[in-house]
A and B are shown apart, each in its own frame.
Chain A
Amino acid sequence: MAQLQIEGLCKGWDFPVIDQMNLTVEEGEFFVVVGPSGIGKTTLLRLIAGLESPNEGRIILGGNDISRLPPYKRPVAMTFESYALYPHLSVFENIASPLRARRLPKREIEQRVMDVARLLKIDQLITRRPAEVSGGQKQRTALGRTLVADPEVFLLDEPISHLDAKIRHELRAQFHTLEALRRVANIYVTHDYAEALSLGDRIGVMGQGGLVQVGTAHEVFEKPQTLFVAEHLGQPSINILDCELSTEDGVLIACHRESSLTLPVAQAHAQQLKRGNASHVSYGIRPQYITVIADGEAVCDSLHVVDCTVSLFEPLGTYAILMAETAGATITALSSPEHRYEQGESIRLGIDTAEAFFFDAVTGKNLVL
């Protein structure tokens, strides 16, 4: 019954950081908030924790309105981005802290702390001070402190952002497997979209003023409601072309305003666009839907082929980024790192127009959903 409800939450200083936010996170749900740095993700967590007071709105946990409660009375646990471990206490005492606050008996504290320490594989370190353990171990100590508190909602503020790439990968797994987290509502904040997509049952993309879109990983990535959402998720960023829609021989095409590139609009999209009378749009196509066509390779119908010259080729290990110029426009594609492309080389790229997005050039809204 530990459902978290946020109603009409407003918080701002000179300008609104959170404007009339409504959100419900179910018990057992892993809700991930993703967004650029400084947008207000931490502010949201702090409001739920009680470390900040909202200008307006209510926060309801398990049916109880906790909006007026001070943080030490809320059944909430939070891991801070900086871990906020008590430097003068051992790892054991750090983890035991919430239990000591409740003045539980010594034996119970010891058992619960050791259970959590073993679960997170830091039981060997419990006598050490935070300064004496590595970054990854600090993170797990901070996590242990929240787990042991057995709260009704977990708030995780960028828990693994500041760790080595390798360790981050390992620790990400723990968020998939920890059962304790799945018993209550979880809100996990990150700026890394891949982490968000992989961990979240639902993902909230946060922009100016609050959550711009909330949905499953597939929904927010494949059906972005606004240009902001589409741009924010994806590496490399989605290609955005400022286009004018026009009809040529009865077929709808998108003409890039800054170059002579024109792209056909797929049937499925054309109908909706015509109905909406759209003219000035931001045409979006993700790099993964632009592929290199080898000489002599067969091309399926939905691919629109363009001749390009390579301007940049960046092998990044698992994949490679290819930037090419065609008809005066630059587009980015994803390719395999195995095949090398030289700058200035002529290649053919196939654009899967069925996967294109059309956003209103002024409002940024997705016109074809």
Chain B
Amino acid sequence: MARVTLDNVNKIYFSRRGDVHAVQDMSLNIEDGEFISLLGPSGCGKSSTLRMIVGLESVTSGEIRFDGDLVNELEPQERNVAMAFETYALYPNFTIEENLGFPLEVRGISKQDRKEEVHRIAELLQISDVLGQKPGALSGGQQQRVSLGRALIRAPAAFILDEVMSHLDAHLKFQMMIELRRIHQSLERTMLFVTHDQMEALALSDRVAVMNEGRLHQFGTRDDLYHAPANVFVAGFIGEPPTNFFTARPDESNGALTLLTLDGGTRFYPSATRAARIRSHGADQYIIGIRPQNMSPIANGLDTSITAKVLLNEYSGERSTLTLMAGENRLQAITHSSDRIKRDEEVKLYYHPDNVLVFDVETENLLT
């Protein structure tokens, strides 16, 4: 079991062409048995962070602790973590059974015990029927499961998965996600998952650490990230399609506080609490964020709306995504797949004031 903590961890890659500060002042507290994801675009530092936790990279400064014990100086073998890689890394000349049993064989576990463990893991991952085959004969998804199995069989304290799903197609990815959840629930191990796909991260994790350019922006549950994103980056990164942003000025001409976009064409009504906060904050410009799924052409009892002109109606089966223009601002909204709204139509998009996120225009942080 492992509680993993990072305390002001930094990673700098020194090179002749200039130092790269890949991870900056990263502090993270992962509870025992938690499933967390490191999420961010390519090059944000998530892989470097992961490799430092595993022990494949040295820590430039800061401390990494497992259950309170400092592990900075320990080799990966000594840290009792297991890692599954993006590229499976299976031994091509060995059968699946041998591949799975390898970590145990290295530790000198008896053949009988090894066989039992291998069969147990194979059962869990539903690969019992391919135990006698070589990796070359297996499909990508099966190979992926073998790779996971080989990491799991050691019963490590923490289990690290590095972009393990990037090579899978949609169907397989979905199945793999369900399986990972199931494995996590039955084994109750601390799991760290690295990905650039926010859907994977949100689906699998208890909490998600959103990173960009070496910094941790927010570490929270799906609800935290969705309803209270720490800043514009998190709000823009989490959510598919991405959050709509507008720059607006507070306007009290009608009594209540509203936010008017800079081109003067669109007016947003924030919730009462947020309005109060804006008043006390007193800036003259703010960034508004509102998610496409929180804007709909169907009123459903709401009376706050904005008007926009449809540029595109993208049907994708279960839903349709509208791309619209409100004055000079481009935005998107999600609606029913049966909606046949056409190009160039003017529609009213209804929203709930609670869903209007307001950010400070300079720091880009959420106004709380």
Category for how many chain B residues contact A: 35 or more
Interface members, chain B 147-196 (any A CB < 8 Å): 169-171, 174, 177-178, 181, 196
Q: Mark B40-61, 1 if CB is under 8 A from A, else 0.
A: 0110000000000000000000
| A235 and B174 within 8 A (CB) | yes
| A317 and B170 within 8 A (CB) | no
Query: Given A234-B317, A317-B239, A191–B312 Cβ distance below 8 Å?
Result: no
Instruction: Please measure, in the bound complex, the distance between the C-alpha atom of A275 and the C-alpha atom of B174, giving whole angstroms.
Output: 38
Interface members, chain B 231-269 (any A CB < 8 Å): 237-242
Query: Given A191-B169, A193-B170, A317–B316 Cβ distance below 8 Å?
Result: no
Identify which of A165, A198, A237, A317 gathers the most chain B CB atoms within 10 Å of its CB: A317
| B199 and A314 within 8 A (CB) | no
Interface members, chain B 197-229 (any A CB < 8 Å): 197-199, 202-203, 222, 226
Q: What is the CB-to-nearest-CB distance from A170 to chain B, in angstroms, rounded to a whole number?
A: 9
Instruction: Please measure, in the bound complex, the distance between the C-alpha atom of A337 and the C-alpha atom of B312, giving whole angstroms.
Output: 26
Q: Chain B residue with minimal CB distance to A233?
A: B317
| B170 and A314 within 8 A (CB) | no
| B317 and A164 within 8 A (CB) | no
B113 at interface, CB cutoff 8 A: no
Query: Given A197-B316, A334-B318, A237–B202 Cβ distance below 8 Å?
Result: no
| A236 and B199 within 8 A (CB) | no
Partner of A288, one of B198, B202, B337: B337
Interface members, chain B 114-169 (any A CB < 8 Å): 169
Interface members, chain A 134-160 (any B CB < 8 Å): 134-135
B178 partner residues in chain A, CB cutoff 8 A: 312, 314
Number of cross-chain contacts by CB at 8 Å: 91
Q: What is the CB-to-nearest-CB distance from A368 to chain B, in angstroms, rounded to a whole number?
A: 19
| B239 and A318 within 8 A (CB) | yes
| A234 and B242 within 8 A (CB) | no
A221 at interface, CB cutoff 8 A: yes
Identify which of B170, B240, B321 gathers the most chain A CB atoms within 10 Å of its CB: B170
Identify which of A135, A236, A314, A316 gathers the most chain B CB atoms within 10 Å of its CB: A316
Q: What is the CB-to-nearest-CB distance from B195 to chain A, in angstroms, rounded to a whole number?
A: 9
Q: What is the CB-to-nearest-CB distance from B221 to chain A, in angstroms, rounded to a whole number?
A: 10
Query: Given A164-B196, A165-B240, A194–B181 Cβ distance below 8 Å?
Result: no
Query: Given A164-B42, A165-B196, A318–B203 Cβ distance below 8 Å?
Result: no
A234 partner residues in chain B, CB cutoff 8 A: 317-318
Instruction: Please measure, in the bound complex, the distance between the C-alpha atom of A236 and the C-alpha atom of B318, giving whole angstroms.
Output: 10
Partner of B318, one of A37, A134, A135, A286: A286
B174 partner residues in chain A, CB cutoff 8 A: 235-237
Instruction: Please measure, in the bound complex, the distance between the C-alpha atom of A134 and the C-alpha atom of B43, giving whole angstroms.
Output: 11
Q: Mark A314-346, 1 if CB is under 8 A from B, else 0.
A: 111111000000000000001001000000000
Instruction: Please measure, in the bound complex, the distance between the C-alpha atom of A217 and the C-alpha atom of B317, giving whole angstroms.
Output: 8
Partner of A194, one of B169, B198, B316: B316
| A315 and B202 within 8 A (CB) | yes
Instruction: Please measure, in the bound complex, the distance between the C-alpha atom of A221 and the C-alpha atom of B316, giving whole angstroms.
Output: 9
Instruction: Please measure, in the bound complex, the distance between the C-alpha atom of A244 and the C-alpha atom of B226, giving whole angstroms.
Output: 44
A193 partner residues in chain B, CB cutoff 8 A: 170, 316-317
| B169 and A36 within 8 A (CB) | yes
B87 at interface, CB cutoff 8 A: no
Q: What are 7 pairs between A and B in contact, CB < 8 Å?
A: A165-B199, A169-B240, A234-B317, A312-B178, A314-B178, A316-B203, A318-B293
Task: Rank and list the top 7 A-B pairs by shortest CB-CB distance, nearest first.
Answer: A198-B314, A194-B316, A221-B317, A288-B318, A317-B202, A197-B316, A165-B197
Q: Enumerate chain A interface residues (CB-CB to B < 8 A).
A: 36-37, 134-135, 164-166, 169, 173, 176, 191-194, 197-198, 217-218, 221, 233-237, 286-288, 312, 314-319, 334, 337
Given contacts A165-B197, A319-B318, 10 further A-B contacts (CB under 8 A): A165-B199, A165-B240, A166-B41, A166-B242, A197-B316, A288-B319, A288-B337, A314-B177, A317-B238, A318-B240
